[in-house]
Amino acid sequence: MRQDNFEVEDREIYAALMESIDDYIYIGDLTSNKYLISQNMLDDFELPDRMVDDLVSAWGELIHEKDKVRFFKSIQDMLDGRTDSHNEEYQIRNRQGQYIWVHCRGRLYRDQESGRPRSFVGIVKKPTSIGKIDQVTGLHTHEKYVEAIEGMAAAGVMSKAGMILLGIDDFSRINTLKTHHFGDIVLRYVAQDLMKMLPPGTMLYRFDGDQFAILLPVGSRSTLFRIYEKIQNFTIEPHFAEGQEYSFTISAGAVCFSEIGLIEEDVEKCAAIALKEAKAMGKNRCVFFAPEMLDYKVREQKILQELAGSVRESFRGFHLAYQPITDATNLTVIGAEALLRFHSDTYGALGPDEFIPLLENTGWIFPVGRWVLSQAIKTCVRWREKIDDFTINVNVSCLQFKDDSFASVVEEELKRYGLPPRYLTLEMTETYFVTNKENLAATISYLHELGCKIAMDDFGTGYSSLGRLTEFNIDVVKIDRLFVQSLNANHYNYSFVEAVIRLCHRAGMKVCIEGVETALQQQNVSALHADSLQGFYVSRPVPPEDFQQNFIEHPDCMFAKAAPKNIPSQYLRMSGDKDLLLSMMDAVPLALNLWNQKYQNVECNQAAVKLFELQEEAEYLDRFFELSPEFQPDGLPSMQKARDKIKEAFEQGKSVFYWMHCRLDGEPIPCEVVLTRLSYKNEYVVAGYTKDLREHDLQAEKEFLDLADL
């Protein structure tokens, strides 16, 4: 290129451009059909060289089947002279085998005299530089979905279409129990896999969180259902990411647009209602939207009316129920959680899950929330006359917490009744802590200065991970009842809860376990060293009069129902009588053996002998070291790992891990081992409980392996 005082080589311009732009660049000479592409384009896509013969064909090969026709048509339009520009978005396979969205804009230049195509130059924008593309999955976002729906409506082709809204079931488990990063990888893989399953012409979008939407131009019930079945079958297969196996199911809400013709509700809302129904019915299923599902709206309207009346008339119909919070081990009542109830004139007693969202949507949560605080504080003051350290827990909606005046409202209410702030704990759900970290810090520190305590509610259901638990300046973590219910049956949950408690204690936080319903659960919770518990085992939430009578007058009333103190402790003290000890060991159905301080295996029970199909105890003790392979599945030499674990148990009281044994005939036996330190004849020994996992499902075993690294 040359002008007065300006001279730059065209080749230098190309070179500079090609190196300095993030997007991919191609420049083609159409007389020879040779293209020069930027280095990053070669790096990222399966192309032969920087110089490519017939780039259009090579590139077209990589484009997703469903977009190919559209791509080639737009090229043909140019070659046929119908247009000189190319402007298309499509998905294309990168070198990792993933389909990513790109936006390709090119321009065709013609020979001025002959009009024949001479060169073709363009830029392919990467997903990072296109709005409306989800960064995690590379899929189009909700915004793009809205455009597509509007486009369909404008073209008058809505009535035949169909939509499936997909939600990964319990996705928060993957996010919480693994990591956020792992959760993102799973979303990306699911997105890629879904894409491969969809018929041409179908569009896939990522909505919020764990939701994806599929839009079909023609979507009869049978087509939609077949697609869901395909997806469901795919979820059954084993899935791996970063060397870890994970499992999940997917629920779906499907809508045939033809069936909702006369409803004013938009499609997305209908799909969301159907998805909610699918989850409520037990997940891992597809539910089709039916207009009757909107009947809830009538109920909602009526309740809204009643709530409005109640807020006007000094909170008529609202009352608080109180559920005891007790010491986890001896079950003495140490406080209560105030739980809001509403009595509807039309529908009777309503639970907070139904009306709190309505209060939040209307803003009535502010006056009602203040009323709750006020009632709860007043009651606490009264009960503290009997129980000195009695604390009251009050749930706070995230809207209240976000409100600038919240801290001063709390301060005023405390002053009004003269409750020392340390007897008030404000509960906020975990999700809010994670999504509003910055805004929270100031309010939390103000409330702390005041002297109140903060609890993170429903821990384990939101999106935080173990590592992030200690980031927040909180006093109590309440572990959601989801976990307690399977503590006994699921290693994964047991180890998770154990890890949370350990972490919290190390950071000076207390742990409360929610949803304790049985004696066995209470024993477990106590053995895990949780500080407090709450649940139907002690009591359901009850009216204040009942609470007063049952618990304030008799704070020790549950004492007799508490697990005996000496059962679960790590520091189990055993009788010094060896015969008694051995007969006790034989009564245990698990394989059990004892180690001394010199790492010698000194006793075992009958179950251990049987596990390895040996003849007698002596053989077990003699040949014990032949009962493990040389290396464990994690690559560590068995002898070294065994010593490390025994040492850990001697030092810390307990060690839980996965162990691969093998019988003398070589048959592998995957086991779970729990080592516990015991005091025996005035010295310490370590007891090893070995559980044969062969009958347990492989998934549980894998999860346990993952957790062993926590």
Q: How many CB atoms lie within 10 A of CB 422?
A: 13
Closer residue to ligand C2E in complex, CB, 374/395: 395
Pick from 37, 80, 30, 29: nearest CA to 62 = 37
Closer residue to Ca ion in complex, CB, 67/427: 427
- Per DSSP (E only), the strands in 663-704 are 668-680, 683-692
Stretch that binds Ca ion, among 57-65, 262-270, 387-395, 607-615 (CB under 5 A): 387-395
Nearest-approach distance from CB 373 to ligand C2E, in angstroms: 8
Closer residue to Ca ion in complex, CB, 210/427: 427
Bridge partners of 133? 140
Closer residue to ligand C2E in complex, CB, 347/599: 347
Closer residue to Ca ion in complex, CB, 395/524: 395
Asked whether position 74 contacts ligand C2E by CB under 6 A, the answer is: no
Asked whether position 317 contacts ligand C2E by CB under 6 A, the answer is: no
Q: Which of 541, 544, 555, 670 binds ligand C2E (CB under 6 A)?
A: 541
Asked whether position 515 contacts ligand C2E by CB under 6 A, the answer is: yes
Q: How far apart are CA 441 and CA 454, in angstroms?
A: 12
Stretch that binds ligand C2E, among 190-198, 324-332, 352-360, 604-612 (CB under 6 A): 352-360
Nearest-approach distance from CB 195 to ligand C2E, in angstroms: 37
Applying CB under 6 A, the site for ligand C2E has a residue count of 22
Closer residue to Ca ion in complex, CB, 286/373: 373
> Are 88 and 74 in contact, with CB atoms under 8 Å apart?
yes
Region at 515 (left for phi over 0; alpha for psi -120 to 50; beta for the rest) = left
Angle between helices 698-708 and 491-506 (to 10 degrees): 20
Q: How far apart are CA 262 and CA 203, in angstroms?
A: 25
Asked whether position 457 contacts Ca ion by CB under 5 A, the answer is: yes
Stretch that binds ligand C2E, among 177-185, 510-518, 606-614, 629-637 (CB under 6 A): 510-518
> Are 191 and 204 in contact, with CB atoms under 8 Å apart?
yes
Applying CB under 5 A, the site for Ca ion has a residue count of 5
Stretch that binds ligand C2E, among 29-37, 42-50, 92-100, 394-402 (CB under 6 A): 394-402
Q: Which of 72, 225, 417, 536 binds ligand C2E (CB under 6 A)?
A: 536
Q: Which of 23, 89, 427, 672 binds Ca ion (CB under 5 A)?
A: 427
The binder of 481, among Ca ion, ligand C2E, none, by C-beta within 5 to 8 A per type, is ligand C2E
Asked whether position 353 contacts ligand C2E by CB under 6 A, the answer is: yes
Stretch that binds ligand C2E, among 102-110, 120-128, 512-520, 602-610 (CB under 6 A): 512-520
Asked whether position 397 contacts ligand C2E by CB under 6 A, the answer is: yes
Q: How far apart are CA 414 and CA 401, in angstroms?
A: 16
Q: How far apart are CA 182 and CA 174, in angstroms?
A: 8
Six token digits for residue 360: 């939040």
Stretch that binds ligand C2E, among 69-77, 160-168, 240-248, 511-519 (CB under 6 A): 511-519
Nearest-approach distance from CB 379 to ligand C2E, in angstroms: 13
List b or e across 535-573, with b for residues whose CB sees 16 or more CB atoms inside 10 angstroms: bebbbebbebeebbebbbeebebbeeebbeeeebeeeee
Stretch that binds ligand C2E, among 40-48, 165-173, 349-357, 593-601 (CB under 6 A): 349-357
Q: Which of 100, 195, 271, 372 binds ligand C2E (CB under 6 A)?
A: 372
Q: Which of 151, 291, 309, 351 binds ligand C2E (CB under 6 A)?
A: 351
Pick from 657, 658, 660: nearest CA to 668 = 660
Closer residue to ligand C2E in complex, CB, 352/421: 352
Asked whether position 455 contacts ligand C2E by CB under 6 A, the answer is: no
Contacts 24+ apart (CB under 8 A), 80-85: 81/115, 84/108, 84/109, 84/110
Q: Which amino acid is at 616?
A: E
Closer residue to ligand C2E in complex, CB, 319/502: 319
> Are 273 and 255 in contact, with CB atoms under 8 Å apart?
no
- What letter does residue 470 receive in the DSSP assignment? G
Residue with tokens 């043909």: 76
Q: Which of 84, 193, 259, 458 binds Ca ion (CB under 5 A)?
A: 458
Closer residue to ligand C2E in complex, CB, 137/522: 522
Asked whether position 176 contacts ligand C2E by CB under 6 A, the answer is: no
Q: How far apart are CA 459 and CA 477, in angstroms?
A: 7
> Which residues ranging from 504 to 533 are in contact with Ca ion (CB under 5 A)?
514
The binder of 688, among Ca ion, ligand C2E, none, by C-beta within 5 to 8 A per type, is none
Residue with tokens 């969301």: 272
Pick from 693, 685, 653: nearest CA to 669 = 693
Angle between helices 365-384 and 406-417 (to 10 degrees): 30
Nearest-approach distance from CB 339 to ligand C2E, in angstroms: 4
Q: How far apart are CA 336 and CA 387, in angstroms?
A: 12
Q: How far apart are CA 645 and CA 660, in angstroms?
A: 14
Closer residue to ligand C2E in complex, CB, 166/325: 325
Stretch that binds ligand C2E, among 350-358, 440-448, 493-501, 685-693 (CB under 6 A): 350-358
> Are 310 and 303 in contact, with CB atoms under 8 Å apart?
no
Pick from 145, 160, 152: nearest CA to 259 = 160
The binder of 162, among Ca ion, ligand C2E, none, by C-beta within 5 to 8 A per type, is none
Q: Which residues contact 682 (CB under 8 A, 6 or more apart)?
A: 576
Asked whether position 169 contacts Ca ion by CB under 5 A, the answer is: no
Binding site for Ca ion (CB under 5 A): 395, 427, 457-458, 514
Binding site for ligand C2E (CB under 6 A): 323, 339-340, 351-353, 356, 372, 395-397, 427, 457-458, 481, 515-517, 534-536, 541
